[in-house]
Structure 1
Amino acid sequence: MKKKFLFVLFLIVFVQESPAQTPADTVLSRYYSYLNRTERIHPADIDQWIHTLNGKGQWPDINYRDEARANWQLLIHLKRVEELCLAWSNPQSFFYHQAALWKTISLSLNNWLANKYQNPNWWHNQIGVPQCMRDIIVLLKDTLSSRQLQEALKVMDQLRIQKNGAGANTTWSADLGLHYGALTHNLALMDSCSQIIADEIHISTGEGVQPDYSFHQHGARLQMYQYGKAFLFTNIRLAWELRGTPWAFPGNKVNILTDFLLKGWQWMARGINTIPGTMDRSASRVGELRSPDIRYLIPFLIELAPANTQAFKQLKAYQNGEGALVGFRYYPYSDFAAYQTGNFSFFLKTISTRTLPTEVGLNSENLEGKLLNSGDAYLIQNGKEYYNMMPVWNWQDLPGITSFNEACQIERKPFVGSVGNGKNGLTAMDYCIENKSGNQQISAHKVWACHKNVVISLIANLQAKNIKDTIYTVLDQCRLQGEVAVNSPDNIVKDGIHQLNSVKWIYHHHIAYIPLKPATIKLKIGKVKGRWSSVNASESDSLVTDSVFMPVMVHNGVNNNSTGYVLAYCEKPKDAQLISQTPDWKILRNDKICQAVQFKDGTGMIAFFEAGQLKTRLGLVKVNRPCLLLIADHYLYVSDPSQRGGPIKINLNDKMIEVNLPKEDTTKKIQIAR
């Protein structure tokens, strides 16, 4: 069997790279190979589709009158045809060239060619449908009748090539135009489309790849694993297809793709698992929190950019669960922080005047996500924490937010940013959340200090306006994994909703949740129910049941109140107790002007919300304007969260340091002692 497989593989490669082929034929042959190397065939589905297709070429489980703008059911029909074509065309498939399969393909394809179904959403008509039809044509080009080929090309010709600047939509449409040109021998079209694709691979502050290697679409919104995924995956495949042809990507374009992958993509996930804040409204789709999975493209990346082979293999290992990234990264163009450790990952999505709120309700998606990007914070260890929890979530109480019952929106402010040294970091947010009319409001200064398996969240100057309800901070809202202990390793809390007083620590799934001082905690543990359709109208209406762990810290006194909590990795409940009793940190200050923490190894993190001073282990620190400081390993790191840039004066133990901060890349590193 192995010899047969090797022979078939040799035959495919030989046909692809035959000297007699034109460059356009080479592109199509490589795409044919790509489809057969990457797409999985599911025999049980193939067999079912063969036996359930009716005489009209339709499947009974698809609503052929559906007009949903997001998950359009009729596109399922065409995707099934495509998968049937893969089973037909792959020599390793059990169904390879089976007569019954061909009959099903022909009948179901003819149904689409006769009806040419349309959707109210332009994307399906101009991109989604032509993409499927392109694949069908490439897989069956020599088997289709002349009429079928002609009609299939008409459907593919529904594509409309978008101008540069539309991000992933430009790439999708030009990709289609490139292959349409190859199929119709239109080399001029291939020339123009390949140029459009290459031009779209650039770094800018508009839509697409940002200077910090995050990704924006629909304005200044982080869309890493939605539109960014389409951009990256499509361009990796295209760069591989076009290598060595007249349409090959220039080297600098390939470098942008690899840098985007290694400096941005892999840092916003733990392995293959990410959080809602990295993908905006698509988080309301089933299975989307595992969109970072790029393992199937690693072989193509190695062929495309062999100089990065080791980095690609390491990325694949991380995505296989073998080890993890370690370090701190902040993405100032997207207000996103990632703290990666060997044991867990901490992700924080803030918002400022420079970024936009989440898209709520577009295409009837993200129906409950109005508070996304509001300082919500997440801990991932094994990837089960938030995966597919969306239908059972309490969207009013997202992890990490400080809120009240009627909260509806964040008031965006400029003082939002971070300072870091690659290993550790401090993120600050001038925080304000309000109800729909704006007459009820909570404001506070919030910071998150990440260092040595610990995240310290400080909340200062907590103010309330016209609010009689409870004010609270959600410490987490994740899937329940194991027992929950409170204040004692032997005090295991049962399922239910509990109002707990004088809580010193809570342990759940290797994380200790430690209030800075004994606190009132509302703790919810156990079963929750919901429906995907409640967050995304195109998803299932079936009832979903899961289990949740949700500790909520209640703020009893509000005005001018300062509080906070710690998230610390620990193996067992007794370790949580030990960390709580013998902390490795000291809160130096937590008030309106300054929030600061110092760790035992000497690392200090300071947020000045206005000019001020602070006593530290190194002496007195004074600043003449708002800023963030990190002091570690004989270096001072300075950042301007407002991204205004300009001069700042720092007096460190009577030594004056003047720093001119840039507007964009706002962190400066200064050696202070040896």
Structure 2
Amino acid sequence: MKRNKLLFFFLLVCCSIFAQKSTNDSIALIKRNYINATISNDKGKEDLLKRLSAISPEQEVSDQNVIELQQLYPISAKEIQLLTSTLHADGTWEDINYKDTKRSGWEPKIHAERILKLTKYYYQKKLMLKPTEFSQLKKAIHQAMALWFNRKPVCANWWYNQIGIPRTLGPAFLLFEQEMSEQEKQEAIKVMMNSAFGMTGQNKVWLAGNVLIRAILQNNWSLVKEAQQAIGSEIVLGQKEGIKADWSFHQHGPQQQFGNYGLSYICNMSFYSELFTDTPLAFSKEQHKILISLLLDGYQWIVWRGYWDVNALNRQLFRNADVDKGFRLLFAAYSLMKSCNPEDAEKIKKMIDRNSFFSQAPNTFTGNKHFWESDYTIHRTPQWMASVRMASNRVIGTELVNEDNLKGYYMADGALYTYVRGDEYHNIFPFWNWRRIPGITTYDSEAPIPNANRKDSRNQSSYVGGTSNGETGITYMQLKRNGLTAHKAWIFTNNYVLCMGSNIHSDSTATIITSIDQRFRKGEVWSDCNKRFFHDNTGYIVLQADTCITTTELKKGQWCDFMGMYKPAKLESNIFSLYIKHRKDQPASYVYLVLPGSNANQVKNLRTDDIQILQNNEKIQAVIIDSLCYIAAYQAMDLDLKNGENVHISQPGAYVIKIKKDKD
């Protein structure tokens, strides 16, 4: 009996040792995976890195997505020599304002970014450096870390303290762990303890990711698992914030956030998918399926030839944002591809090839999709893409946060962008008239742009939506705010976008305009009787309108006018603008075509006989094109198709109806 007890105790000890070894091995594997990802040790991403390196990185950066993209750039010995030689004995750099009070683009974060750069170079080159170089680099890292540990800088924006700084310094601590004293390691853990589990959506993922780094530093397997569970808990549908049923992404309430929080989400989740591969914490098949669907059924729609759709930038209208966010998504797509089945992996590979910068691959991903939970529509053809962004009493149109998007009040009032090359609106924002955002209807005024966060900024209508047959579709919006009402509809075909407006009026004496387009001037502007126009691979045909005005003028502006983190720097550029000036004595209307990917002859010779406008008023907007009738109804009614058919519309909404053609 005594022998059996000893044997049982011996087996118990062996199991405990084995379990501890297994736990230690898992933490070591996750740590190794984290370090490899941090130093970009992935041959499969070499082509993307080569293309990225051909583009000069931004010098003024606030967007966390862009910051993490720039962390992928190869680090040169010249950069490191400059950082170590300009570091003061107290651990500071002369060019950083450590007393900065900005809520966006907070300068002390540059110090944290430099620590990460130094530790990455140290980890990659430590076996190749000369003894004096190695010693100088280590000393610089210790000094720079000591500065942070001693001063403990705090930003007025909570995000930097709880998310941004721990997310930047955490990987640096992992890379430099073997060189840190016990006191330094405890200070590092204190930095990481500024993050705790909580919040929702992407903020929750960021916080849990920082807790994960702390758990790895502490070799705390229980905390590692808890962090993984918190991260994985956001890979679900149907929550108020996060992935929506239409594969868009919401944060800060019911608001489309593809380019801000949503991009961070898909990038982070792709990273963790790769990080946990071949460990006990690997995401489930269902979780992988959701992430792949978010990429292929959501994000795949909004990028054109590597450029991010302006309507999906959200409040982050940073310089080169459309290119940088496009690159960031491709790196995430590659990481996610590693855990896919062959069929999905091939789809993702085609997406990467099609959107790699300077790619000549054909745009074979086509169709029409309305993101009904976000009041957002994308239309793709082999030659061009178009997008419309709206708002309703269900969906917030835009936001102003931390001096980001100071002038974007009208950006969800039916903004219509069309792309052929992809760069049509690249870095145009400093020169914009923000009341002439392409597609919108608003007041023509010199008054300051309203604050997007004020209480009356929401569109006060539920009549906003769209429908599609997969290839073509109609999107509609009743704009109703600030005393202005307008019924707007967009019909997407493979040859053009038909834009209709009706019941345009207000309780103000101010002039109302509808902007058709506003972009950089490229070449001459051709026009025919002020009804047909062609400029920069795009045609415009005005079928019905009041006064139509086209201008080309030298505009001046600066990025800090609408993004507060930038330093003042005046710029100028030639801008083309085409807009309609509406009459005041009665409700106005319009009908016009936008023809992307065309030429002047095509615009001049296009026959519009097959476009049959049935009605365009306050009750309904209806048009027949070929054998399809596109309808935006604002009330229940009967519609005469004028071919012997009559359609009963039982409730307001968007409809695409197949109709019989006249036999004559």
TM-score band (shorter)?
A: 0.7 to 0.9
1:208-247 alignment to 2 at 5 Å?
Answer: 208-247=242-281
In the TM superposition, what is the alpha-carbon distance from 1:123 to its structure 2 partner? 1.1
Residue 411 (structure 1) aligned with residue 451 (structure 2): no
Deviations 1:291-327 (A, max 9, x none): 1432223442222224321011011012124222211
In 2: Cα distance, 1:358 partner to 1:196 partner: 28
Partner of 1:627: 653
1:545-560 alignment to 2 at 5 Å?
Answer: 545-556=572-583, 559-560=586-587
1:520 to 529, 532, 547: 547
1:606 to 631, 648, 658: 631
In the TM superposition, what is the alpha-carbon distance from 1:617 to its structure 2 partner? 4.7
Partner of 1:648: none
2:420 to 352, 364, 381: 381
Partner of 1:116: 152
2:32 counterpart letter in structure 1: S
User: How many residues are aligned here?
Assistant: 592
1:104 counterpart letter in structure 2: A
Q: 1:143 to 1:583 in 2, by over 3 A?
A: farther
Residue 569 (structure 1) aligned with residue 572 (structure 2): no
SS at match of 1:90: helix
Partner of 1:289: 322
Residue 356 (structure 1) aligned with residue 396 (structure 2): yes
In 2: Cα distance, 1:63 partner to 1:603 partner: 61
1:35 to 9, 25, 38: 38
In 2: Cα distance, 1:614 partner to 1:323 partner: 41
SS at match of 1:628: strand
SS at match of 2:88: coil
In 2: Cα distance, 1:586 partner to 1:24 partner: 67
Partner of 1:177: 211
Partner of 1:531: 558
SS at match of 1:63: coil
SS at match of 1:309: helix
Partner of 1:490: none
1:621 counterpart letter in structure 2: V
In the TM superposition, what is the alpha-carbon distance from 1:582 to its structure 2 partner? 4.7
In 1: Cα distance, 2:84 partner to 2:377 partner: 49
In the TM superposition, what is the alpha-carbon distance from 1:170 to its structure 2 partner? 0.5
Q: 1:95 to 1:379 in 2, by over 3 A?
A: farther
Higher relative contact order (CA 8 A, sep 6+): 2
1:505 counterpart letter in structure 2: R
SS at match of 1:476: strand
Deviations 1:607-637 (A, max 9, x none): 2222121225572223233232212499xxx
Mapped contact 1:503–1:518 kept (Cα < 8 A): no
Partner of 1:455: 497
Q: 1:146 to 1:482 in 2, by over 3 A?
A: farther
Q: Root-mean-square deviation (CA), in Å? A: 2.5
Deviations 1:272-294 (A, max 9, x none): 323443242222x3332331432
Partner of 1:430: 478
In 1: Cα distance, 2:573 partner to 2:185 partner: 48
Mapped contact 1:401–1:474 kept (Cα < 8 A): yes
2:154 counterpart letter in structure 1: Q
Partner of 1:255: 289
Residue 420 (structure 1) aligned with residue 468 (structure 2): yes
Q: 1:22 to 1:348 in 2, by over 3 A?
A: same
TM-score, normalised via structure 1 length: 0.83
Q: 1:93 to 1:398 in 2, by over 3 A?
A: farther
In 2: Cα distance, 1:606 partner to 1:84 partner: 60
SS at match of 1:515: strand
User: Tell me, which stretches of 5 or more residues in structure 2 are unaligned?
Assistant: 1-20, 42-71, 451-456
Of stretches 134-143 and 286-295 in structure 1, the one that deviates more from structure 2 is 286-295
1:27-176 alignment to 2 at 5 Å?
Answer: 27-37=30-40, 39-43=72-76, 44-91=78-125, 98-99=133-134, 100-163=136-199, 166-176=200-210
Identity %: 25
Mapped contact 1:346–1:377 kept (Cα < 8 A): yes
Q: 1:129 to 1:352 in 2, by over 3 A?
A: same
In 1: Cα distance, 2:585 partner to 2:38 partner: 59
Mapped contact 2:163–2:207 kept (Cα < 8 A): yes
1:473 to 502, 511, 514: 514
In 1: Cα distance, 2:536 partner to 2:270 partner: 37
In the TM superposition, what is the alpha-carbon distance from 1:230 to its structure 2 partner? 1.3
Mapped contact 1:504–1:519 kept (Cα < 8 A): no
Mapped contact 2:634–2:652 kept (Cα < 8 A): yes
In 1: Cα distance, 2:276 partner to 2:120 partner: 22
Q: 1:167 to 1:253 in 2, by over 3 A?
A: same
Deviations 1:166-188 (A, max 9, x none): 11010011111122112101111
In 1: Cα distance, 2:410 partner to 2:642 partner: 36
Q: 1:122 to 1:112 in 2, by over 3 A?
A: same
SS at match of 1:126: helix
Mapped contact 1:118–1:125 kept (Cα < 8 A): yes
Q: 1:159 to 1:319 in 2, by over 3 A?
A: same
User: Tell me, which stretches of 5 or more residues in structure 1 are unaligned?
Assistant: 1-17, 435-440, 488-501, 635-651, 654-674
In 2: Cα distance, 1:309 partner to 1:411 partner: 40
2:396 counterpart letter in structure 1: L
Mapped contact 2:241–2:254 kept (Cα < 8 A): yes
In 1: Cα distance, 2:252 partner to 2:581 partner: 36
Mapped contact 1:41–1:86 kept (Cα < 8 A): no
Mapped contact 2:24–2:219 kept (Cα < 8 A): no
Partner of 1:590: 616
Mapped contact 1:205–1:211 kept (Cα < 8 A): no
In 2: Cα distance, 1:67 partner to 1:432 partner: 38
Of stretches 38-47 and 527-536 in structure 1, the one that deviates more from structure 2 is 38-47
SS at match of 2:267: helix
1:598 counterpart letter in structure 2: I
In 2: Cα distance, 1:516 partner to 1:46 partner: 61
In 1: Cα distance, 2:436 partner to 2:608 partner: 31
SS at match of 2:316: helix
Partner of 2:387: 347
SS at match of 1:348: strand
In the TM superposition, what is the alpha-carbon distance from 1:95 to its structure 2 partner? 6.6
Q: 1:371 to 1:155 in 2, by over 3 A?
A: same
